[in-house]
Amino acid sequence: MVQADLLIHSGTVATLAGHSAQPARGREMSSVGLIEGGAVAVRGENILAVGTEAEIRRAGWAGRETREIDARGKLVLPGFVDPHTHVLYAGSRENELAMKLAGTPYLDILRQGGGILATVRSTTQAKDEEIKAQTRKRLAEMLRQGTTTLEIKSGYGLSVTEELRELRLIKELDGEGVQDLVPTFMGAHAIPAGRSEEEYTDLVVGEMLPRVARESLAEYCDVFCERGVFSPETSLKILHKARELGLKLKVHADELESSGGAELAAQVGAVSAEHLLRATEAGIRALAAQNVIAVLLPATSFNLAQNLYARAKAMLEAGVPLALATDANPGSSPTESMPLVLTLACLYLKLSPEEALTAATINAAHAVGRAGVVGSLEAGKRADILILDVPNLDYLPYHFGSNPVETVVKRGRIAWRDQL
Ligand code: NIG
Ligand code: FE
């Protein structure tokens, strides 16, 4: 009989089982598969079995070679999946804080050549090694806070060579690091200085996308669809071309204004629409009808500080599957923390802890095309497992501002452990 290399036992296990084929929606989002006194048996990179400790021991999975971790009084979860980040960049933008506090809108800072364009300058001026070193630090922080799989968008290059370089760097980091990284091409993140929307779009469609596809550098294509950035018509052009080239689609939709972004995402068959602070009723209905995942980013709302959050409950009631992400980036969301996102999702999106957890694990895995391998604790799936030093699920969003994660298992190996 095969024996486990690792057995995590006696904890409260949330398996998130049963949602791997389709993202959970509506009431399904409340079902997190809790097992009190649960155990997870791991062999190699994968999960052998999940059940009550008694079941697992009776089945004989644990033997003399098995390393055991006692999770009594603790919460055991699948690793968090962060399906929307811009974490590859050099530099930071704390110099914009005073402007923000004085009330300057996000897009005005961009129009003055700051915002995304400031990060484009600091990133394009940095050497490969410098960008990678800074990004590794952020990835390490994400790992400590439980993120075992994440998406990363390009978009701080805005030229053919620089966008391709960013995607190559994401690939290199994916190869060397602990986490699994999902690359998204987002050349349409801003319009570089001195170019018109039309000229730059021609470059994205005519040169960038074909190269990205030919060199297999990205799985998804995303567009910042927003008035003053990329109009719905332009966004459609880019997304159509991406789809034709075999990329899956995401849309930054209705973040700062209602611009029909949700409707657009539904129309092009996007996997997800992201942000959605100002999505309309019609937009929400369109997402539900096409089963587009709403990736909600409450840390961005918190940091934009305008008391405006996505209408998560209305989306949930309409049947839109919800996922949560950090949006980690140097401007609108300078954080790497999924636990913080869970707290904000409960307090301001009014999700229950169960709904928020589903959104941060299995539904997030669906949003990056990885639901068959990660996002839940089920036999055969990859052993990406967290042990949190919290006594129950409610405690996780309730207590904030410190790291609840005690142990991170990635592909069956202990990737990080709190020493205290
Ligand atoms: O998702 N909205 C556009 N892009 C990012 C912000 C990037 C930045 O400010 O550097 C976002 O909020
Ligand atoms: Fe974003």
Express each pLDDT in 267-305 by its tens digit: 999 999 999 999 999 999 999 999 999 999 999 999 999
Express each pLDDT in 147-156 by its tens digit: 999 999 999 9
Query: Measured in angstroms, how far is the CA atom of residue 186 from the centroid of ligand 2?
Result: 10
Ligand 1 atom 12, closest CA = 332
Measured distance CA(34)–CA(36) in Å, rounded: 7
Q: Which of 87, 104, 333, 335 to mutate to test the pocket of ligand 1 (most atoms within 8 A of CB)?
A: 333
Query: pLDDT confidence of 196, banded at 50, 70, 90?
Result: very high
Q: Does residue 265 contact residue 232 with C-beta atoms inside 8 Å?
A: no
Express each pLDDT in 215-247 by its tens digit: 999 999 999 999 889 999 999 999 999 999 999
Instruction: Say if pTM beats, i.e. exceeds, 0.85.
Output: yes
pLDDT of residue 420: 58
Tell me the average pLDDT of the chain: 97
Angle between helices 128-144 and 160-176 (to 10 degrees): 50
Whether the CB of 250 sits within 6 Å of ligand 1 = no
Percent of the chain at pLDDT > 70 equals 100
Q: Which residues surround ligand 2, an ion (CB under 5 A)?
A: 327
Length of the chain: 420
Query: Measured in angstroms, how far is the CA atom of residue 53 from the centroid of ligand 2?
Result: 41
- pLDDT: which is higher, 183 or 111: 183
Query: pLDDT confidence of 367, banded at 50, 70, 90?
Result: very high
Whether the CB of 283 sits within 6 Å of ligand 1 = no
Flag whether pLDDT at 75 surpasses 70: yes
Q: Which residue has the tokens 């005073």?
A: 98
Closest by Cα among 87, 5, 2, 3 to 411:
5
Flag whether pLDDT at 177 surpasses 90: no
Flag whether pLDDT at 326 surpasses 90: yes
Q: Does residue 10 contact residue 36 with C-beta atoms inside 8 Å?
A: no
Q: What's the rounded mean pLDDT across residues 336-355? A: 98
